[in-house]
Amino acid sequence: MMKKILTVTEIKNGELRNISFETIAAAKMVANGGEVVSVLLGKQEKGFTDALIQYGADRVIIVNHPQLALYTTDAYQQALLQIIELENPDGIFMGHTGNAKDVAPRIAMKLQSGLVSDVIAIEKNGEDILFTRPIYSGKAFEKKKINNGLLFATIRPNNIASLEKDESRSGEVTSINVEIKDLRTIIKEVVRKATSGVDLSEAKIIVSGGRGVKSKEGFKVLQELADALGGAVGASRGACDADYCDYSMQIGQTGKVVTPDLYIACGISGAIQHVAGMSNSKVIVAINKDPEANIFSIADYGIVGDLFEVAPLLVEEFKLVAVN
C-alpha cells in the first residue's frame, strides 16, 4: 500500500542541514511509491526547495509566519499540527535533533500517536516496517513496529544515507499560511556558543578531546587536526567541566550523540558516559598515554602516546596527502 510521508526540514545558520535529506531517504524507504512531502517552516530561499526535490521530495510545503523564523516550541507545534491536519499523512519523519526532541513528543501526544525516537535503521519485513534504535546507552538495540496509526519517527543523523542528488527532478512547491497565537515564549536574541565550521552532530569526522588535553590551549592542536581532515572538534564532559571548552562541544550520555565515519579520541579515558555518545562511530581511533585506558577496548585503532606529539605528526601527514 502506497503511503504519504511528511518530512520536517531543518535549517541551521542559513543552510539546510544534512538530516533534512536523510529524512527524505528514510521516507522513501517506507512510502512504497507513495508521496514524500517536505515541510519548510518560515521564510525560505528558492534553493532550499530545489535541493529538497533534487534529493527525493515529491512536493514541498513552505509554511509562512514571522514567528517561525526562529524555533520556539509553541510556534512549531501549532504550525506542524495544522499542516498534519491539512495533509493527513500516513507518517511523519523528523531528524533526531534538539528541536525534534522537544517538539515531536508534544505532537505525538496531541495526535494520540506513538513515536519511535532515535532511529538508526529502517527495514521492511513483509508488510511491516521495522525501526531499529539503540537502548541502554548504545549497549543493545531494539526493533519496533507501529501496529496502527501514524508512522512517526525521529532519525539519528549520519545513519541513513541520503539519496543521490538528481538535478533533473521537479516537484510542486506551495506556500501555506498558518495561524499562531498565545505564544508563551518569544525569542528576542540568539547567542551562539558552538564550534565554528562543520556541525558537530552531522560531522563525518570528529576529533574529540578529554582531560588529557590539559587546557584551552591544548584544544588548538585538536582544531588543527580537525581542520586538516575537514572535521569538527568535540569534547568529553571532563574537558567541559574543567573549562577547557564550551559545553556545546560535549559528546556523551548528557551531551550530543554522534555517529561519524571517523572518531579520533584524544586524551579521553573512555568513561561509559562518554562512550554512550560515540560508540556507534564507524571507525574509532584512540590516542592516549595510558595503555590500559578503557577507550582502547572499543577503538578500532589505538595509538599509545602523547597526543601533543602524535596529533601534529598526523596533521603533517594529512596535509602532505592533500597536496599530493
Q: In the prediction, which pLDDT does 38 show?
A: 97
User: In 3-state terms, what secondary structure has residue 207?
Assistant: strand
Which element (helix H / strand E) includes 79? helix 73-87
| Claim: this prediction has a pTM higher than 0.95 | no
Q: Exposure string (b/e) for 68-99, b if CB count within 10 Å is 16 or more?
A: beebbebbbbbbbebbbeebebbbbbbbbbeb
Q: In the prediction, which pLDDT does 45 show?
A: 65
Q: How far apart are CA 18 and CA 285, in angstroms?
A: 24
DSSP letters spanning 31-50: HTT--EEEEEESS--HHHHH
Q: In the prediction, which pLDDT does 196 show?
A: 55
Which element (helix H / strand E) includes 190? none
- Among 196, 162, 185, smallest CA distance to 54 is for 162
Q: In the prediction, which pLDDT does 161 show?
A: 94
Counts of helices then strands in the chain (DSSP H, E): 8, 17
The position carrying cell 499562531 is: 180
Q: In the prediction, which pLDDT does 182 show?
A: 87
Q: In the prediction, which pLDDT does 137 show?
A: 77
41 within 8 A of 76, measured Cβ to Cβ: yes
16 within 8 A of 38, measured Cβ to Cβ: no
Question: Which runs of consecutive H residues, i.e. helices, occur in 89-217?
Answer: 98-111
222 within 8 A of 229, measured Cβ to Cβ: no
pLDDT tens, residue order, the chain (324 aa) = 789 999 999 988 888 999 999 999 999 999 989 999 999 997 666 689 999 999 999 999 999 888 998 899 999 999 999 999 999 999 999 999 999 999 999 999 999 999 999 999 999 988 889 999 998 878 899 999 998 889 999 999 999 999 999 999 999 999 999 999 988 888 888 777 655 567 788 899 999 999 999 999 999 999 999 999 999 999 999 999 999 999 999 999 889 999 999 999 999 999 999 999 999 999 999 999 999 999 999 999 999 999 999 999 999 999 887 666
Q: In the prediction, which pLDDT does 195 show?
A: 52
Q: How far is CA 183 from the centre of its chain?
A: 27
Q: In the prediction, which pLDDT does 29 show?
A: 94
The position carrying cell 588548538 is: 220
CA of 42: how far to CAs of 67, 79, 165, 254, 260, in Å? 8, 10, 24, 30, 30
Q: In the prediction, which pLDDT does 194 show?
A: 54
Name the percent of the chain in helix, strand, coil, to the closest 5: 35, 25, 40
37 within 8 A of 61, measured Cβ to Cβ: yes
Q: How far apart are CA 202 and CA 305, in angstroms?
A: 29
In this structure, the strands spanning 128-135 and 140-144 are antiparallel
For residue 141, list its beta bridge partners.
134
Q: How far apart are CA 264 and CA 314, in angstroms?
A: 11
